[in-house]
Amino acid sequence: MNESLPIIDVSALVQATPGRVDVARRIGEACRADGFFYVVGHGVDGALVQALEAAGRRFFALDEATKMQWRMALGGRAWRGYFPLGGELTSGRPDWKEGLYFGTELADEHPLVRAETPVHGRNLFPDLPAFGKTVLAYMAAVTALSHRLMEGIALSLGLPADYFARLYTADPLILFRMFNYPSRPVPAGQDAQWGVGEHTDYGLLTVLLQDDVGGLQVKTRGGWVDAPPVPGSFVCNIGDMLDRMTVGLYRSTPHRVAINRSGCDRLSCPLFFDPNFFSRVERIEGLADRPPIDDAAERWDRANVHAFNGRYGDYLLAKVGKVFPELRSQVV
């Protein structure tokens, strides 16, 4: 695991200065290579990041009975709330982590909520001081960053900067997670072999905040490499829908998280910046001359993402229904 992932200063992209063309080029190189890169110079307030981390640690330090007051079964079709250790599956096996699911905050009277649209609705915020306020402020900041990063990805493909915003992300589907990876042995009888098993992300772009413990690993063309913590950075990776849009030119790369044996719990907070739930994901017209591919034999789930034809929401629900099979009937 000697290969390292690129670290890209995206300040010119965030500030919309002429240097963003060079930033876009570097992002494009990373997307063509392994689909993973770090970003620094991102403009997200360090004090907000610290407040989010502190809020997460306060919650996960609670006893399980208290945390279960905000369990996902109470979130219904909005697919929000807490799941305990071993409560999330990857490829049918439990992951050795616990977590909180959040998304864009929508009131009960919002048309999408009244229509019972899956993964839309209110959040189940733990009853801790400023918790919900901190999470929403962080989501807003990283969503704004994600819009800028997608402009860079568009420019890297020779497209107008607003390409993705016009077609897919004027109203993106935002899903945010806070995960805690405990540093204690997996109990006997629990078939958990990884913090998170090998997988790819479903949408367009993931922006990950990780603490200083480490454990993330990326399956590059040269094999598995570590993605260790870099102070002040986010780890970014592209998802299945961007892989499909670019006909495999930009790769949705498998990754996993090792069982945590550090002696300290690991906090990890990914924000998934995805196409609008109702958008139909199509190949980018300028790349239409790329021949269709079928990479099912190489993928972790043996599925050909390039064969998908439909709304992004349909793709998402098919995936999350396998992650939480006991909740599947509530949203599918």
Work out the average pLDDT over 312-321: 89
pLDDT at 156: 97
Between residues 165 and 189, which one has the greater pLDDT? Answer: 165
3-state class (DSSP) for residue 125: coil
Is residue 149 pLDDT above 50, yes or no?
yes
- Give residue 3's pLDDT band: very low, low, confident or very high (50, 70, 90): low
Q: How far are the Cα atoms of 123, 237, 239 from residue 234, in angstroms, in the given order?
A: 24, 10, 16
Burial of 295 (0-12, 13-18, 19+ CB in 10 A): middle
Beta bridge partners of 311: 280
- Tell me what pLDDT residue 1 has: 42
- Of residues 186 and 79, more confidence is placed in 79
Average pLDDT of the residues in 294-308: 83
Q: What is the pLDDT of residue 2?
A: 47
What was the pLDDT predicted at 331?
65
Q: Which residues, 6 or more positions from 23, have their beta carbon under 8 angstroms from its beta carbon?
A: 8, 9, 10, 12, 13, 152
Residue 17: strand, helix, or coil: coil
CB under 8 Å to 201, separation ≥6 — which residues?
Answer: 237, 238, 239, 240, 252, 272
Average pLDDT over residues 78-92: 85
